[in-house]
A and B are shown apart, each in its own frame.
Chain A
Amino acid sequence: MTSESLLGALEAARLKHGVPGVSAAFYEGGVLRAAAGGVANLSTGVAMSTETLAHIGSITKTLNATILMQLVDEGKVALDRKLIEYWPDFRVEDDEATRAISVEMLVNHTSGIDGTLLPDLGHDEETIEKTARRFAHVRQVHAPAHGRSYCNAGTVLAGYLAQRITGTGWYDLVKERIFKPLGMEHAAVLPEDALLHRTSVGHFRDGPTGRLKRSSHLFLPIGYASAGSTAMMSASALLTFARMHLGNGAAHNGARLLSTESAVRMRAPSPPIDGPAAFDCGIGWIRNKAEVVQHGGGGPGIVSCLFVHVPSQTAAAVLTNAEYGIDVIADLINPFMKEHAGFEPFPLPPKPVRVAPANLERYVGRYENSSDVHEFSLVDGSLMWSAHSQHRFYDSSRLDAPPPTRLVPAEGGVFLGHRGHGLAARDCAVIGFADPDADGKFRYAFQRLWLYRRRDARRTR
């Protein structure tokens, strides 16, 4: 790869998929290359540059977990201890879960707290502490350690725990414990810091007209900052952080942010769970094949990703400002990781199969978490699917159930659903089912990283 070839590939992918702005950085052979193309904001027309701060979304969870592991290194917190030992007021709706949730469960997505996103309460009410307290009224998707479903609530709590233990606000922890020692100049976790820089904002495709529109809002609720609502940075700054993980805690500039043991532990598989798992993860990292660890990020009209492969000492970050930016990410990441780790992290969806599974009634039902609802029904012998959101977090969110669409059975016992880009597109919905009860009905549906519990499913444990 050369800087020219990177820029060429980035612009080709960006133009092919019609994404307003893309910023990317790749690290291989001890060299960091960055490129950017397009515009940061369609409303202003200001160019995206390699210094533009773009949303990293949930990649923040890796930063958040790094801070938690720093506290482990300092002996201030232990992963296997219960959260309630450090925060006696901690509550979720389920008393048993309140007592059972450990620190580690907060960062490996096994706490089961169903607080994916709560409605935005407005600037002054949206604090990390207040969000942590709102979970007192939140139920469980699954019992602690009896499932794995992507859990923003856990990472909010981990961030709150860090600020509680240190007596320092989470925002300052990120600045002082990560940005400053790594010399990450083009990075911000607060909007009031972001506005000192060039900044990118998200874009949606307007449903009826198909035209691109700037997102009406910059962030998901700010009280979810430690789960990833507010962090913005350049792709190069994000790779500066990633290189510290490539160095097992030692940064490019010699600073040590984590013990080797903790850096390695973050990438190691989490303890096995007794229940359905939507994905595999370590601590703050999503685990892929061949020792690749990664994290993706989303937000209002943005998609971003970070990939790290320690064996080949390579890393890549791609930040886009369109809700469908995943196609650009796949075009840039696939060849890079194929070369260095031997596989493409963004495969096409599984192939359709001609024969549907027997007893499709087993799938019928309403499956939900606090954010989304998936309804499955049978029409003329076909499984039909309709999804909608519980709250309006994105300009593209729909709160009413759309007319059901037919699901196509595919290899591996999953189903494919159109999301507007066709079944071959990477963002077509791949829906699976898990954990049948005694009647053979599934307790859970899963899509991407989330489990959705059937509404009438009895609590299994």
Chain B
Amino acid sequence: MTSTRKVFLTGAASGVAAISSASLWSDIAFAADTPGSLGAKTTSGMMDPKELQDAVDAARSKHNVPGVSAAFYADGQIVLASSGITNVSTGIAATQDTLMHIGSITKLFTTTLVMQLVDDGKVALDRPVVEFMPEFHVGDSEATRTITVGELLNHTSGIDANLLPDIGHDKETIENTVARMRSAPQLHAPERARSYCNAGMVIAGYLCQQLRGKSWYDLIKERIFAPLAMQQAVVLPEDAVLYRLSVGHFLNPATKAPVRTPLAYLPIGYAPAGSTAMMTASDLMTFGRMHMAKGVGPNGTRIFSEANALRMREPFGHVMGPQAFDCTIGWQRSPGGLLHHSGGGPGIVSMLVTHPASQTAIVVLTNADYGVSVLADLVKPFLKTRLGLDTFAPAPKALANQTIDPAPYVGIYENSSVVHEIAAKDGRLTWTAYGRASYDRGVRTERLPTKELAAAGDGRFLTSDTTFIKFVDPDSSGKSRYLQQDVWLYRRT
């Protein structure tokens, strides 16, 4: 994974990519297969402890990731493995007891809390948020009136406040973050499109706080961790420090060595969207199994109703949005009945994949922002050999004829986090991108070098050998209203 896109993700817009990281699914698709190390050895699956340990060790060392923890579940059996170290600055070993960031997988926890409110008749997914929380307010008054509870959870609210700049510990509260969204613009009208939306999930977490009269942190502890007996799972940094824990790493481009992140978390006010949660792979698997069992934990405790567990999995009507990003209430979907979520943070990537039909699930947690290669090595062969699923679409190819009319595409496309400038030069498109704010302290927000784009047809242009942007939704003059990249839409301004 040395693509330009990866440079972009770890550069200008790292923070944005990090908390979202829904893009990991497509990243996995593009990660090279690794037949030499794994493909041949894993035909029996990875449900043998030694085999999983070998696979995790091999993937970790091959990709120079400091630490990995994994849990595989199939045929009613769970297999765990961990490898490497928690932190290159301390050298402490990563164990199966080590708490690691789960990032945006937290969104499934927040969604579960909302579905408990649905169970209790305190909210309805198809009703406007203002009905349950009259103080709810975003920049657009129409959107304020119409955004529904369900739209907060399925990334169709259109609220454009992906990650606001960190305002410091005492100010970074969930309540203050929601208050700061009172002036957030709309990326699109509610329900009309789909673009990965941290803001909706923070507001959903706040809704739970307001209706339950308890903090989101306590709700997660009392309504999910405790009843599922997840004893190595935390949502607060002051709880995390009690445990063996992992922190993120970036690759120093000069030395090719992993460097510990200077920052443990993205802004803490985004906790319900996934900035603070950490747990063992084993505990995350407990949560995943609860969902596969339609709301009942492995310990027999029902967390929420079967009806609402099933409702979370249902697809909704097609709206404009990135093709690789098909989501339900809280979950992301892939063909073959896969429901999954990935997570990021400063220098971490993680993934939970479930296949309810076969009661099979995978958790992989890594402490490097380039850990996606480890995910690919572990997830792809398992899905293929175990479930016969090969759901990763290949990358588009550049067209032979690169003659295009740039007019429909040229312009500035942006959301609250990232700006893309598309220009024309000698009949080709050029692309310049930059982030609006830095979340990783050392990360740059200056403009990246302008790059020439290769046309791949259907409004798609390659930004590297394997990654692309796509122009969609032409207006009456034929000019695109939106640019799509990964799980995000960017609006032409």
Residues of A near any B CB (own CB < 8 A): 41, 43-44, 46, 51, 122-125, 127-129, 169-172, 190-199, 201, 214-215, 217-219, 222, 230
Contact = CB atoms under 8 A, between A and B. Distances in A.
Contact of B97 (A44, A122, A192, A195): A44
Given A171-B170, A192-B268, A197-B89, A43 B241 contact: no
Interface stretch (B14-22, B157-165, B259-267): B259-267
Interface string B91-119: 01000010000000000000000000000
B236 interface: yes
A127 B242 contact: no
Interface residues of B, number: 33
A46 B241 CA distance: 12
Contacts of B97: 44
Pick the 8 closest A-B CB pairs, nearest first.
A191-B237, A124-B173, A127-B170, A191-B238, A192-B237, A44-B244, A169-B168, A192-B264
B264 A123 contact: no
Nearest to B170: A127
A41 B242 contact: yes
B171 A169 contact: yes
B245 interface: yes
B237 A124 contact: no
Nearest to B248: A196
Given A41-B242, A192-B264, A197-B89, 17 more contacts: A43-B242, A43-B243, A124-B174, A124-B215, A125-B173, A125-B215, A169-B168, A170-B170, A191-B241, A192-B169, A192-B268, A195-B241, A195-B264, A196-B264, A198-B92, A218-B239, A218-B242
A405 B9 CA distance: 66
A195 B173 CA distance: 19
Interface centre among A128, A190, A195 (most CB of B within 10 A): A195
A41 B175 CA distance: 33
- Chain A CB count within 10 A is highest, among B89, B174, B260, B262, for B89
Contact of A196 (B87, B170, B215, B244): B87
Contacts of A218: 238-239, 241-242
A213 to B, nearest CB: 12
Interface of B is mostly: loop
A194 B170 contact: no
Give the dominant DSSP class at A's interface.
loop
A199 B244 CA distance: 9
B390 interface: no
A172 B265 contact: no
11 contacts: A122-B218, A169-B168, A171-B170, A191-B238, A191-B241, A192-B268, A195-B264, A196-B262, A196-B264, A201-B242, A215-B242
Contacts of B262: 196
B264 A193 contact: yes
B90 interface: yes
Contacts of B242: 41, 43, 201, 214-215, 217-218
A196 B169 contact: no
A12 B253 CA distance: 47
B240 interface: yes
B89 A196 contact: yes
Contacts of A222: 238
B12 to A, nearest CB: 24
Contacts of B241: 191, 194-195, 199, 201, 218
B201 interface: no
